[in-house]
Amino acid sequence: MKIIRAKDYNHMSRQAANIISAQVILKPDCVLGLATGSSPIGTYEQLIKWYEKGDLDFSQVRTVNLDEYVGLDSSHEQSYAYFMRSHFFDRVNIDPSNTNIPCGIAPDEAAECQRYDSVISGLGKLDLQLLGIGPNGHIGFNEPDTCFTKGTHKVALTETTIQANKRFFQREEDVPRFAYTMGICDIMNARRVVLVASGVEKADAVKAAFFGPITPLVSGSILQLHPDFTLVADEAALSKV
């Protein structure tokens, strides 16, 4: 594990964007695994700035997103599909047909998980997976469990996650209770993993995941075993280690 210690959120975002831009420049048709949440927004903003300056070209990049809420249509403002369009895809020259996100309203949930797994395997190895971390140490929506789940699956969101995510919804009862998420094998198979963490509210999760035992109760802890894992965290997120 490599740790990049950033001063603050903006510095963390620039550091993560640097790694991603190097990937896109070195391999213009790379496969990027992408994440949602407030942690990577600054990273996307930085990449958009470099694209606008003419320094980055996403026309051949292919992407696969980590997760999506079950029950939300891609036009729903809180869906992760909407998030990705507004924070990144609509603002760079990526081909929408090269982007992939689980479908929150698929009628057959098991079939949707299988479809998404075929999408991931069809893309080959992910070149780089970008991650955030949940307050309970989860990655994607891989909630605390008795085992690490390999492929795409439907999860029941824990109370901690519902509480953390309710800030994006008008009412707590509007927060979906289930989500689709890429599994741990999908994430671990990426050639390179970069996780961004910012703020003191992530300090416990960072400590538990990267400085504690490897356990499915803290799904991010598996990254300690990844051969090319970079934690890009600001001082506040690293304040407990």
* Interacting residues toward ligand GLP by CB under 6 A: 35-39, 66-67, 132-134, 140-141, 161
Question: How many angstroms separate the first and last alpha carbons of the chain?
Answer: 14
Of 88 and 141, nearer to ligand GLP (C-beta) is 141
Known catalytic residue: 93? no
- Cβ at position 173, least distance to ligand GLP in Å: 18
What is 57-114 written as a DSSP string?
A: --TT-EEEESEEETT--TTSTTSHHHHHHHHTGGGS---GGGEE---TT-S-HHHHHH
Of 165 and 189, nearer to ligand GLP (C-beta) is 165
Catalytic residue among 100, 136, 142, 165: 136
Catalytic residue among 143, 165, 226, 234: 143
Of 27 and 177, nearer to ligand GLP (C-beta) is 177
| DSSP β-bridge partners for residue 198 | none
DSSP 8-class letter at 219: G
- Cβ at position 159, least distance to ligand GLP in Å: 13
- Cβ at position 147, least distance to ligand GLP in Å: 19
Residue 166 exposure: Cα atoms within 13 Å on the Cβ side: 12
Known catalytic residue: 143? yes
DSSP 8-class letter at 220: G
Of 61 and 196, nearer to ligand GLP (C-beta) is 196
Give the whole-angstrom CA distance, residue 16 versus residue 58.
17
- Cβ at position 67, least distance to ligand GLP in Å: 5
| Catalytic (active-site) positions | 67, 136, 138, 143
